[in-house]
Amino acid sequence: MYHLEGTAITSDQLFYQMRARIGNPDKKQVPDRMLADFMTDALDWMADQLKFQVKTDSTSLLLVAEQQEYLIPEDVAWFVWLEWDTNRITPATTQKWDRDGTDWRNAAPGQPLQYAIQGRNLVLYPLPDAATVTTQPYLTFRYIAAAAPLTAAGPLGLGELENWIAVYKAAVLWLIAHPSDTAAALIQGYQEELVERVPRAKRRLANPIRDYRARLHVDTTGRWGPAR
């Protein structure tokens, strides 16, 4: 019997626990590859809820002289910060620029000072000039990532307690897709588990050092990146 112990949980172990919660369907009729789609959906949901994967990238956004818009990498869900040559670039929105009378579309090229997000595009103001690109051609950014693809080694970035959330959420998604009276009862119970577990996981991730609490900060800026 598999137990979720430690952080190195494999996909086989996740599927075993999920299977136990959806009525133990036979592997010949319901192979693990069928469960994988529901587990992937669960992990995507968790990435949005818990924001558990935080990464830094310094090679994906290559500047081009006098190019203002850049496609955001696929796994970026939210930007935390953006830098050029260790200089932090201020987040904004194109609506704010328009409201303030900033002619961001026709501004003279220079070192980017602000950025905005439109859809999956990063918009720089001003657009970079040749000297900027020569000095440092890449932007560096810290971001909250969407869930990584599920592999045999298991989900990336989840601790032991968070693995259970993936199991229960994937089971709920499966049962919703295979309705019955029994499924309805199980869904209710598993949803109650999620209601208990998700807030605790959020608190753990927000305050991972037991004897330290970050000073309260009210975020009035909104979200500076697109949700997946």
Between 222 and 183, name the one with better pLDDT. 183
Backbone angles phi, psi at 145, to 5 degrees: -100, 155
Task: Work out the percent of the chain whose per-residue pLDDT is above 70.
Answer: 87
Burial of 197 (0-12, 13-18, 19+ CB in 10 A): middle
Domain edges within the chain: 11-52+150-206, 54-145
Average pLDDT score over residue span 17-44: 93
Q: What is the pLDDT of residues 46-89, one digit of tens each?
A: 888 888 888 999 999 999 999 999 999 999 989 999 999 999 99
- Under the banding of pLDDT at 50, 70 and 90, the label for residue 224 is very low
Q: What is the pLDDT of residues 166-199, one digit of tens each?
A: 999 999 999 999 999 999 999 999 999 999 999 9
Per-residue model confidence (pLDDT) at position 44: 87
Backbone angles phi, psi at 15, to 5 degrees: -65, -35
